[in-house]
Structure 1
Amino acid sequence: MDNLNDIGLDKAKSKELEEKLSELLANYSVFYQNTRGYHWNIKGDDFFELHVKFEELYNDLQVKIDEVAERILTLGYTPSHRYSNYIEKSEIAESKQISDGKAAVREILEAFKTTLRLQREILELSDEAGDEGTNALMSDYIREQEKDVWMYSSYVDTK
């Protein structure tokens, strides 16, 4: 029983999950701040539509950031709260100031590619570890974000 954490999961597998969740947390945090920038700086004919969509997205990312950090805590670890750590770990780069809607949506789609890939890796690890809590979280995120990709892609493809 010494190899199990407080919620009954293998400690070594939980550590692997924590590392991947920390990577996801970093990517989500940079994605969030980028999306805030798109929201603040968007200009043009689609301002009203995109301003609202970007706010919806960053609010959703804020919830996910909190849920991922809480999952790290549930596994018995401490999530980082430092942007310097996030920048170091994140595959999603800080965005330059973007006011063009199509450019912002393209960056959002690239960010979704990164988060979806990471979430699928975490889903596989959580399945192997028997970690239903993390598994359910990742399944929900993947389902939601695949739909978001379809919707944002539809915007870019028609404009």
Structure 2
Amino acid sequence: MKTKQKKEEINILGLPIKEAEVIAAELNILLSNFQIYYQNLRGIHWNIRGKRFFDLHVKFEELYNDAQLKIDMIAERVLTLGGIPLHTFDDYIANNRLEVGKNISKDTDAVNLIMTSLADLLKIERVILDESAKINDEGTNSMMGDFIKEQEKTMWMMKAWSEEEI
């Protein structure tokens, strides 16, 4: 008597459904943390003070605009994989792994918050990259690779700025 081998369920993208659901859940964690990162950037953009105000105010706006675009990309990828993107502050806070910056106005504190936030985002992204690579999810893989490359460069620049002699 032959036993029927259970056929793996595949979604419309050609990815295994269960694994795609796991990746969508991980992307929702990333989405939540990017929302916190975005809010941190808005806060330091608004509250930065001192002699470097003009340069940092513009830089922080550039970073929060970029984060806003990435938030939309992450949410759309969750939808593409068949998930539902998280969209409440309660969800964001429950999934947050980043330091929340409150009333940061000093330039070095702001840059340090960005660097630690990016380091934490990179950890989440590398987990997603690893999981998406296992199932040949090139869409998620490519997005994570692009995010990682950009954020590593931003961290390098922030580190170079923070080592500047005054």
Shift of 1:93: 3.0
Whether 1:11 and 2:17 are equivalent positions in the alignment is: yes
Shift of 1:149: 0.3
Structure 1 runs of 4+ with >3 Å offset: none
Which whole-Å deviations, capped at 9, do the CAs of 1:96-131 have from their partners, x for residues lacking one?
Answer: 110001001001000001111111111111100110
Listed as ranges, the matches of 1:24-103 within 5 Å are: 24-103=30-109
Between 50-59 and 114-123, the greater mean CA deviation after superposition: 114-123
User: Between Structure 1 and Structure 2, how many residues are aligned?
Assistant: 159
Q: Which position in structure 2 is the counterpart of 1:20?
A: 26
- State the one-letter code of the partner of 1:33: Q
Q: Whole-Å Cα distance in 1 between the matches of residues 116 and 49 of structure 2?
A: 21
Q: Whole-Å Cα distance in 2 between the matches of residues 74 and 66 of structure 1?
A: 12
Whether 1:112 and 2:118 are equivalent positions in the alignment is: yes
Whether 1:143 and 2:125 are equivalent positions in the alignment is: no
Q: Is the 8 A contact 1:23 1:89 kept in 2?
A: yes
Q: Is the 8 A contact 1:6 1:76 kept in 2?
A: no
Shift of 1:2: 6.3
Q: Whole-Å Cα distance in 2 between the matches of residues 74 and 33 of structure 1?
A: 25
- 5+ residue gaps, structure 1, are none
Q: Which position in structure 2 is the counterpart of 1:155?
A: 161
Give TM-score scaled by structure 1 length.
0.97
Q: Percent identity?
A: 44
Alpha carbon RMSD of aligned pairs, Å?
1.0
- 5+ residue gaps, structure 2, are 1-6
Which whole-Å deviations, capped at 9, do the CAs of 1:16-60 have from their partners, x for residues lacking one?
Answer: 101110110010000000100000000001000000000000000
- State the one-letter code of the partner of 1:82: T
Q: Whole-Å Cα distance in 2 between the matches of residues 75 and 19 of structure 1?
A: 10
**Higher fraction of helix:** 1
Q: Is the 8 A contact 2:99 2:113 kept in 1?
A: no
Secondary structure of the corresponding residue to residue 98 of structure 2? coil
Which whole-Å deviations, capped at 9, do the CAs of 1:76-108 have from their partners, x for residues lacking one?
Answer: 011011011101101013211100010010010
